[in-house]
Amino acid sequence: MMPLAIKAVLSGLLIALIWEIGRKLPTVGALVASLPLVSVLGMVFLWNARPDAENMAVHAQATFWYVLPSLPMFLVIPALLRHGVPFWVALVAGCVLTVLLYLAMMQIGPRFGLKL
């Protein structure tokens, strides 16, 4: 199994790469950031730690459902910024909205048979 330090360095390099690309080409940086690279990397790490098909299937499906509540943040933040709201306030508002939507998903999802 890969040591935690190597996983952390790999993840940090991914974030640094996205930051460097986004600094020069914001839309390309956004494209790279939107790719499910972190999810894929997480699935590889999880599979190496516990190669269980059902566990991986549950993880991948739950990831899909948890992505949905995060999406409105990417509309709220730019809308707030364009209306003159300071960056940090807009970011916190987007994060709070996301947390509330995650909590709602955790409450509502199982009622519809979702394994979350």
The mean pLDDT values, 10 residues at a time, for the chain of 116 residues are: 78 89 92 85 90 93 92 97 98 97 94 84
66 by Cβ neighbours in 10 Å (0-12 / 13-18 / 19+) ranks as middle
With tokens 């330090």, the residue in question is: 5
DSSP 40-96: HHHHHHHHHH---HHHHHHHHHHHHHHHHHHTTHHHHHHHHHHTT--HHHHHHHHHH
Residue-level pLDDT at 115: 78
CA distances to 27, 88, 100, 107 from 33, rounded to whole Å, are 10, 20, 23, 28
Domain residue extents for the chain:
1-51, 53-116
